[in-house]
Amino acid sequence: MRTIVITVAAFSLALIASGVQARELSKGHRFACTWGSDIAAGAQQSKLSGVSLYGARKQLQVRRFQQPWMRMTAMGITEQTYNSSSKLKPAAVKQTYYEQCVRHELARR
């Protein structure tokens, strides 16, 4: 029981901290982090449902992207997700990716 309370408290603190950090980012950086987290979650969903890396890459090839940099970035995120041994749910991957992206962007400043 004590472990559950500590875990919930730590998760809540992380959510609050990521919300404060997200406000400090520009609109473009927030968009990139959100977009990347969506790609990572989709890749994790594909991986867990049994789609091969080749199949996931083919899906990205036919997808239309708003910016030229998005296609290759999506390929890289997908490949890294497939190379990971993680069995986390896509929502957890999305949250983790977003938090780490925000942390990375703030550290670059």
Give the pLDDT confidence of 14-35 residue by residue, as tens digits: 655 555 544 578 999 999 999 9
Residue whose token pair is 């041994």 = 85
Of 9-18, 67-76, 94-103, the poorest mean pLDDT is in 9-18
Return d(Cα 18, Cα 78) in angstroms, integer.
23
Residue whose token pair is 């559950």 = 4
Report the predicted TM-score, pTM, of the whole model to 2 decimal places: 0.76
Would the pLDDT of 10 be above 80?
Answer: no
- Of 1, 64, 66, 55, nearest to 32 (Cα)? 66
Q: Residue 6 is encoded by which pair of tokens?
A: 């500590």
How many helices (H) and strands (E) the chain has is answered by: 5, 0
Predicted confidence band of residue 70 (pLDDT cuts 50, 70, 90): very high
Ramachandran angles phi, psi of 67, nearest 5°: -120, 150
Return d(Cα 82, Cα 54) in angstroms, integer.
10
Residue whose token pair is 């609050």 = 16
What's the rounded mean pLDDT across residues 96-109?
93
Q: How far is CA 67 from the centre of its chain?
A: 18
Identify the pLDDT of residue 53. 97
Return d(Cα 17, Cα 35) in angstroms, integer.
20
